[in-house]
Amino acid sequence: MFASEPGRRARSRLSTKSEIATKPIGEASHAAKPAPRRKAKLALVPRDAEMPAERGGMPPKIARFLETAELPSPCLVVDVDIVAHNWSELARSLPQARIFYAVKANPANEIVSRLARLGSCFDTASMGEIDLCLRHRVSPDRISFGNTIKKERDIAAAFAKGVRLYAFDSEAELEKIARSAPGSKVYCRVLMECEGAEWPLSRKFGCEPEMAADLLVRARELGLDAYGVSFHVGSQQTDLTQYDKALVQASALFDTLAERGIELKLVNMGGGFPSRYRTDVPSTEAYGTAIREALVRRFGDRQPDVIVEPGRGIVGDAGVIQSEVVLVSEKGGSDQRRWVYLDVGKFHGLAETMDEAIKYRLLTPHDGGETAPVVLAGPTCDSADILYEKADYRLPTALKAGDKVCILATGAYTTTYSAVAFNGFPPLASICI
């Protein structure tokens, strides 16, 4: 994976560190052997993270690492201490909620291991993610199968491994769960408009509230535990009022189902917690306050169980992609902008630049000098591999082929969006420190 001996040594050290982190806390040998001294217990709190001067900036530990490590390009580097800090900050801001980390955001072993030791639960979308969590000694009661589109054999496999919490949004999916995971807790996902989200979620997931009520009644008829409802206000949600709007709908469903003899217990509020890209975003504390106040406003003293499913907000700011300029060119004509081609693009993990939705910040070795407008693109032979053509990106005029460019806040939805071998390029390399 690494092109140099220093890089291989760094990876070796990190792999050893990861193996230590995945050992179960308090695990004891069954063999009788002397213990010459008592070892200190592993702490269940994160180490103090070195945070950047501003949210979403270059993490100091990553900056030092990049100065000395020789890495493949492009390569994502994630500071796992910042991941732990972000998780703990959300836990403090929403003490009544169980945090189910959305594994799809970044499934790195080091991240899952650290969050598991912090006590996190996990939202999974496939058997691959479920098995990953189980390998890190996450008990099945801390795992939800949150994808509403599941093969029946995968439902059966998850049930056999102890998973008892499932999402659905259609009668056909509900019937699969009833057959293959009898008696399980189920929650119905409801459609949301996702106003204010930079990465809105389409109508692919969720159903209308009226249908959700009928489906939850049907769940009880099928012998399942009609446990609650879920919604998602859209990824990178910057409008704090959207959670209150969703809870109005959820509260109404609780009332409707109560009239039909079903006492719902759960509101799964999904994710939406943001990373910091080119524009500022509210603090984690502000999200916690908005959600807590909305829960009181809509449910009063009959507070439900609450789940949140953060992904981007936990790992996004903790990662930086180091990339390289492949080419700087001009096209001629009336558009005087230079084209800057990086060795990372839509097919190397930057899929969220689609429609220029997520606008990452860039650092170059020439920052502070003269700048000019640019079009940014990836290296592949695909015309869709243009990152930013409409957004106003300006880069130093001194930028040239071979220069390193750091793309900030790329810890989420990059390695998991990276193609295996499009155009023969390897997938995005990744390392956790």
Question: Which residue, 314, 346, 378, sits at the end of a domain?
Answer: 314
Q: Which domain holds residue 134?
A: 81-314
pLDDT at 196: 54
pLDDT at 40: 34
pLDDT at 35: 37
Residues 121 and 225 in one domain: yes
pLDDT at 1: 33
pLDDT at 29: 33
Question: Which bin fits 342, alpha (ψ -120 to 50), beta or left (φ > 0)?
Answer: beta
Catalytic sites, residue numbers: 381
Q: Which residues of the chain have pLDDT under 50?
A: 1-45, 197, 199
The per-residue pLDDT for range 176-185, each reduced to its tens digit, is 999 999 999 9
In a domain, 392, yes or no: yes
In a domain, 36, yes or no: no
In a domain, 141, yes or no: yes
Domain harbouring 173, CATH code: 3.20.20.10
pLDDT at 271: 85
pLDDT at 227: 98
pLDDT at 91: 97
Residues 161 and 283 in one domain: yes
Residues 101 and 234 in one domain: yes
Cis check: omega of the bond before 74, within 30 degrees of 0: yes
User: What residues pair up with 338 in beta bridges, in sequence order?
Assistant: 374
pTM of the model: 0.87
Question: How is 380-432 classified by DSSP, letter by letter?
Answer: SS-TT-EEEEEEEEEEETT--TT-EEEEES--SSSGGG--SSGGGPPPPEEEE
Question: Which residue, 252, 285, 314, sits at the end of a domain?
Answer: 314
In a domain, 4, yes or no: no
Number of domains in the chain: 2
Q: How many CB atoms lie within 10 A of CB 279?
A: 11
In a domain, 65, yes or no: no
Q: Which two tokens stand for residue 274?
A: 């943001």
pLDDT at 203: 66
